[in-house]
C-alpha cells in the first residue's frame, strides 16, 4: 500500500502596519479580512486605530526634520530606488492586483508598469519642479526677490480602491518628492498591494517614518488625522463618501489645513501634471539687497 502525500496546510497571512520604518501590529489587536472579488479569503489585515495614527504622526514629524533638508537630487535618487525595488518584485504585485481587483493578468501588468513609471516620473521632477513653481521676481529697487517652493510638512492621504497600486503611488510620490512626510491610508477594499509596497519601502533608502502606511477604515482614522494639529495637509483622493468628505473638510478647517480632493472619476493612467506637487508646497518669498 502506497503512502499518500499529506495535504499541505495553507499558511494564512496576517499583515501588519508600516509605521516609522517598522512593521508593528495594531495596538488595538483588531484585524479584518481582505477578500477577493468572489468573496474568498486572501489575508488578515491590521485594523489601524487612532493610537496607531498618532504613532504615525509622530514618526512622520520626526522624519520630516531630516527629509525636508535633503537635497532635491537626493530625494529623486530615493524615489528612483523605490522604483528599482518595485521592478524586482513585479510578479508579486501582479498576483496581488489580480487577486484583489479581479482583473486579467494583462491589466494587472499594465497597472504595475504604470505604477513603477509613475514613481520614476516624480523622481525625475525632484530637482526640477522648483524652477517651474518658483521664480525670480522683477522688483523696483536694489533688491533680489525670489519665490521658492517649500514642503508643507506632514500630509495625511487616502488612497483610492482602484487602481489600488497605481492610485497609492500617485498619491504618495508627489507628497514625499517635495520633502513632505506622509501617512497613507491604504484602500480598505484592496489593501494587499499597499503592504507589498511597504515591503519595498522598507528595503529601499526611504528615511524611516517618511512614508507610513496604515490599513483599516478611513472613516475611523481620518477624522482624527484631519483635526490633528501636527498634520499640515490632507489628500482625500480615495474618499468617495460625500458625508465623510464633508466631515473631514470641516475638521481640517479647525487647524487651517490644505485639503486636496480628487475630481470625479480621475484617470490615474493619464500622464500627471504638477498639480499634486503644487498642492503640498508653500511658496516662500525672499528679499535680499544687491551688493551684500
The Cα–Cα gap between 210 and 53 comes to 14
Name the pLDDT band for 135 (thresholds 50, 70, 90).
confident
Mean pLDDT of 161-181: 97
What is the separation, in whole angstroms, between the first and last Cα of the chain?
A: 96
What does the pLDDT read at residue 3? 61
Average pLDDT, the chain: 93
- Cell numbers placing 258: 490644505
The Cα–Cα gap between 181 and 161 comes to 22
Q: What percent of the chain has pLDDT over 70?
A: 97
Sheet holding 258-260, edge to edge: 211-214, 181-185, 154-158, 233-235, 258-260
Which positions ≥6 away from 122 have C-beta within 8 Å?
Answer: 79, 173, 174, 177, 277
Name the pLDDT band for 292 (thresholds 50, 70, 90).
low
Nearest partner of 129 among 262, 284, 281, 285, judged by Cα: 281
Res. 291: pLDDT tops 80: no
Inter-residue contact 155 to 232 (CB < 8 Å): yes
Res. 161: pLDDT tops 90: yes
Pairing of strands 41-46, 14-15: parallel
Sketch out the chain's domains with CATH numbers: 17-28+43-289 (3.40.605.10)
Res. 198: pLDDT tops 90: yes
pLDDT in tens, 18-46: 999 999 999 999 999 999 999 999 999 99
Mean pLDDT of 203-222: 96
Mean pLDDT of 258-283: 91
What does the pLDDT read at residue 4? 65
Res. 122: pLDDT tops 70: yes
Res. 140: pLDDT tops 80: no
Mean pLDDT of 122-136: 91
Q: What percent of the chain has pLDDT over 90?
A: 84
Task: Tell me the CA distances in angstroms from 45 to 26, 153, 236, one per residue in order.
Answer: 10, 28, 22
Name the pLDDT band for 146 (thresholds 50, 70, 90).
confident
Amino acid at each position: 500500500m502506497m503512502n499518500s502525500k499529506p495535504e499541505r496546510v495553507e499558511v494564512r497571512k496576517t499583515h501588519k502596519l508600516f509605521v516609522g520604518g517598522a512593521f508593528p501590529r495594531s495596538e488595538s489587536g483588531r484585524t479584518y479580512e481582505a477578500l477577493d472579488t468572489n468573496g474568498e479569503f486572501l489575508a488578515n489585515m491590521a485594523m489601524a486605530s487612532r493610537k496607531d495614527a498618532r504613532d504615525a504622526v509622530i514618526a512622520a514629524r520626526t522624519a520630516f526634520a531630516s527629509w525636508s533638508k535633503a537635497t532635491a537630487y537626493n530625494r529623486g535618487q530615493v524615489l528612483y530606488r523605490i522604483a528599482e525595488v518595485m521592478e524586482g518584485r513585479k510578479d508579486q504585485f501582479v498576483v496581488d492586483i489580480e487577486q484583489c481587483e479581479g482583473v486579467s493578468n494583462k491589466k494587472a501588468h499594465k497597472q504595475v508598469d504604470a505604477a513603477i513609471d509613475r514613481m520614476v516620473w516624480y523622481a525625475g521632477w525632484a530637482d526640477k519642479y522648483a524652477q517651474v513653481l518658483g521664480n525670480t521676481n522683477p522688483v523696483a529697487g536694489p533688491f533680489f526677490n525670489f519665490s521658492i517652493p517649500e514642503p508643507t510638512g506632514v500630509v495625511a492621504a487616502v488612497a483610492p480602491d482602484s487602481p489600488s497600486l497605481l492610485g497609492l503611488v500617485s498619491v504618495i510620490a508627489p507628497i514625499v518628492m517635495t520633502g513632505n512626510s506622509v501617512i497613507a491610508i491604504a484602500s480598505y477594499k484592496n489593501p494587499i498591494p499597499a503592504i507589498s509596497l511597504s515591503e519595498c519601502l522598507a528595503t529601499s533608502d526611504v528615511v524611516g517614518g517618511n512614508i507610513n502606511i496604515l490599513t483599516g477604515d478611513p472613516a475611523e482614522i481620518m477624522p482624527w488625522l484631519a483635526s490633528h494639529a501636527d498634520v499640515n495637509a490632507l489628500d482625500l483622493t480615495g474618499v468617495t463618501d460625500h458625508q465623510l468628505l464633508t466631515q473631514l473638510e470641516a475638521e481640517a478647517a479647525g487647524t487651517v489645513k490644505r485639503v486636496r480632493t480628487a475630481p470625479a472619476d480621475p484617470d490615474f493612467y493619464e500622464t500627471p501634471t504638477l498639480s499634486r506637487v503644487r498642492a503640498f508646497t508653500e511658496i516662500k518669498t525672499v528679499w535680499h539687497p544687491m551688493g551684500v
